[in-house]
Amino acid sequence: MVTDVQQACFEAGIKFGSLYHQFAGTPVSPRSARSLERAMAEAIENQPYCESVVVRIDDDAVREAIDHENGYTELTGRLMEVEMRVGYADTSVQTRMEMEDGYPLMKLVDVADGDADADGDANASDE
Amino acid sequence: MVTDVQQACFEAGIKFGSLYHQFAGTPVSPRSARSLERAMAEAIENQPYCESVVVRIDDDAVREAIDHENGYTELTGRLMEVEMRVGYADTSVQTRMEMEDGYPLMKLVDVADGDADADGDANASDE
Amino acid sequence: MVTDVQQACFEAGIKFGSLYHQFAGTPVSPRSARSLERAMAEAIENQPYCESVVVRIDDDAVREAIDHENGYTELTGRLMEVEMRVGYADTSVQTRMEMEDGYPLMKLVDVADGDADADGDANASDE
Amino acid sequence: MVTDVQQACFEAGIKFGSLYHQFAGTPVSPRSARSLERAMAEAIENQPYCESVVVRIDDDAVREAIDHENGYTELTGRLMEVEMRVGYADTSVQTRMEMEDGYPLMKLVDVADGDADADGDANASDE
């Protein structure tokens, strides 16, 4: 009833929601951005089927968001770009979070059914 | 390149990861479990495409997890069951978190392509 | 080396940091604000020495912060006021989070040493 | 009505509650523990009055807590030790989280009123 490709997309979504809601609100400054990027990536890479995570915190956006003298702000989707690759069975899913129309969007960029490709079955009939 | 059904499954995963990592760690007791269930459901129902969320915190499991005199524990996946329905375009996705083999699992329970059904296209060839 | 009054202030701070960083980032709308207020209060009231918590989410501020068509935003300190009372030994501590100069501030409002008061020792010499 | 020393203890508590509830629930394994330790420390060091944070995640405890084949667990107070130093006005506050009687405890270890010390007022009468 549920295909591997559907399961792969579901897993990709879980990783994105996890990353966002685990780390949103973290105090961040340009000084601490590198360690946070790395910890976010490595934490989520622990999760099942998660093949790679890249987090880029935008130091300029962070600086602009620092609106008080304390010199830090809280992490939100506006301050970072995220790329993630999830693999489930023969399916590889590429996702990305980036700003669109002034709002951070989590996007399903590509869903590749490796099995179908291997078969030369371009129209991916099981999907 | 990405179908509506794939997008629906991705959205369903996002909601699940969000719910879990936003609220895991919340101090909980049988006394506060009802308000937490409701807040979790209503918070996630705000998210796009999320049609309904039901959270059931297991008071017996909470009581068992309270291992010190303070009378509360921290919310984890072992202490609750969650059901969620996400709708994207013509697709309806049913998900559930429950214990399996002693471990809380987020499951894609059902993916229904309303459009295909309407066409009498029972084998949902585009999926 | 550490007095009861100091410990009381430390405990009050813990509750505030917990409340803020547990719930910041939660999707919120005027529709879900009431259940979130209640869950936040009851969750933190579970913690040791926490006597009462009142959370007021500002629906107008929430509406203003909703900057996209999805009809929700994420909880931050700008959208709520919080009052908390912590009791440790004979000390009662009153805290509050509110906007000041456009920035949400966690404040230690009052520290009352009940024991000293009982002694008619108004200037609380042990503090 | 509120002394600098009381404020210092309140600030120290805020940092501890923040650290705990921001990061509890993060997926962690021995492989990702180092980056998480560092990100936690640097994130909280951004907060006002926070002079230093040291986080040590116990790899053996993490390994023991990994109860399923996926090879990771979620961060809790049982898996780490934390030391923090907060400075407010002339007061320096030392805090620590460690296991006690099988339960992770946030402790106010030492409160030093530098001003009193400078006065040679060893018994810190105003505190």
pLDDT for B116: 58
Sign of CA dihedral A21, B65, B32, C9: negative
Determine the distance in angstroms separating the CA of D26 from the nearest CA of chain B, rounded to an integer. Answer: 8
Beta-sheet pairing, B50-57 with B80-88: antiparallel
Q: What angle do CA D77, D100, D6 make, to 5 degrees?
A: 80
Look at C72 and B47 and tell me if their CB atoms are within 8 Å.
yes
Residues of D in contact with C21 (CB under 8 A): 17-22
- Is C7 in Cβ contact with D12 (below 8 Å)? no
Q: pLDDT higher for A117 or C47?
A: C47
The pLDDT-based confidence of D116 (bands split at 50, 70, 90) is low
Q: pLDDT tens across D81-110, in order? A: 999 999 999 999 999 999 888 788 999 999
pLDDT above 90 coverage of chain A, percent: 78
Q: Which three-class secondary structure state does DSSP give residue D25?
A: coil
pTM for this predicted structure: 0.90
Going by their DSSP bridges, the two strands C50-57 and C73-74 should be labelled as unpaired
**Paired strand residues for B36:** none
Contact D31 A42 (CB under 8 A): yes
Closest CA to D83 of D52, D45, D48, D57: D52
- Rounded to an integer, the average pLDDT of A11-37 is 97
Partner residue opposite B127 with nearest CB, options A3, A95, A106: A3
Chain C residues with CB under 8 Å of B72 CB are 46-47
Residue A103's pLDDT band (cuts 50, 70, 90): confident
Q: Is the pLDDT reported for residue A117 higher than 60?
A: no
Which chain B residue has its CA at the smallest distance from D70's CA?
Answer: B103
Is residue D57 predicted with pLDDT exceeding 90? Answer: yes
CA distance D2 to B50: 47
Q: Could B103 and D68 be called an inter-chain contact, meaning their C-beta atoms sit closer than 8 Å?
A: yes
Flag whether pLDDT at A85 surpasses 70: yes
pLDDT (0 to 100) of residue C78: 94
pLDDT of residue D120: 39
To the nearest whole angstrom, how far is the Cα of C33 from the nearest Cα of chain D?
Answer: 21
All residues of chain C having their beta carbon less than 8 Å from the beta carbon of residue B46 are: 27-29, 31-32, 70-72
Is A102–C67 a contact, with Cβ atoms under 8 angstroms apart? yes
Contact D21 C16 (CB under 8 A): no
Q: Which residues of C5-39 are buried (b: 16+ CB within 10 A; e: fewer)?
A: bbbbbbbbbbbbbbbbbbbbbbbbbeebbebbbbb
Least confident among A44-58, B6-20, C100-114: C100-114
**In this predicted structure, what is the pLDDT of residue B30?**
97
pLDDT at B70: 76
Find the length of chain A.
Answer: 127
pLDDT of residue D127 exceeding 60, the answer is no
Rounded to whole angstroms, the Cα distance separating C50 from C93 reads: 10
Give the per-residue pLDDT at B8: 98
Residue A64 pLDDT greater than 60, yes or no: yes
**Residue C49 to chain B, least CA–CA distance (Å):** 9
DSSP one-letter string for B70-96:
T--EE--GGGEEEEEEEEETTEEEEEE
- CB within 8 Å: A7 and B106: no
Q: What is the pLDDT at residue A125? A: 38
pLDDT < 70 regions, chain B: 68, 115-127
pLDDT of residue A68: 64
Residues of chain A that touch chain C, judged by Cβ-Cβ distance less than 8 Å: 20-21, 24-25, 67-68, 74, 76, 101-103
Cβ–Cβ gap A46/D36 under 8 Å: no
Q: Which residues contact A117 (CB under 8 A, 6 or more apart)?
A: none
D interface toward B at CB cutoff 8 Å? Answer: 20-21, 24-25, 67-68, 74, 76, 101-103
Asked if the model's pLDDT at residue D32 lies above 50, the reply is yes
pLDDT of residue A127: 35
Reported as a single tens digit per residue, the pLDDT across C30-84 is 999 999 999 999 999 999 999 999 999 999 999 999 976 779 999 999 999 999 9
Chains A and C form CB pairs within 8 A to the count of 22
Under an 8 Å CB criterion, which residues of A touch B? Answer: 1-3, 5-7, 9-22, 93, 95, 106, 108-111, 125, 127
pLDDT of residue A67: 72
* Confidence label for A116 from pLDDT (cuts 50, 70 and 90): low
Interface contact flag, D102 B24, Cβ < 8 Å: no
Q: What is the mean pLDDT of residues A54-77?
A: 91
Contact B17 A18 (CB under 8 A): yes
How far apart are the CA of A19 and the nearest CA of chain C, in angstroms? 12
Q: Minimal Cα–Cα distance from D102 to chain A, Å?
A: 26
pLDDT for residue D118 is more than 60: no
Tell me the pLDDT of chain C averaged across its residues: 89
Tokens at C96, concatenated = 């509050």
Q: Say which residues have a Cβ less than 8 Å from residue D17's Cβ, sequence separation at least 6.
A: C13, C14, C15, C16, C17, C18, C19, C20, C21
Q: Where are the alpha helices (DSSP H) in chain A?
A: 4-23, 30-45, 59-65, 114-118
Of the listed ranges A1-5, A68-72, B8-12, B20-24, the least confidently predicted one is A68-72
Spatial separation of the C-alpha atoms in residues A124 and A115, rounded to whole Å: 9
* Residue A102 scores a pLDDT above 80: no
C10·D5 Cβ contact <8 A: no
Question: Is residue D121's pLDDT more than 60?
Answer: no
Neighbours of A121 (CB within 10 A): 13
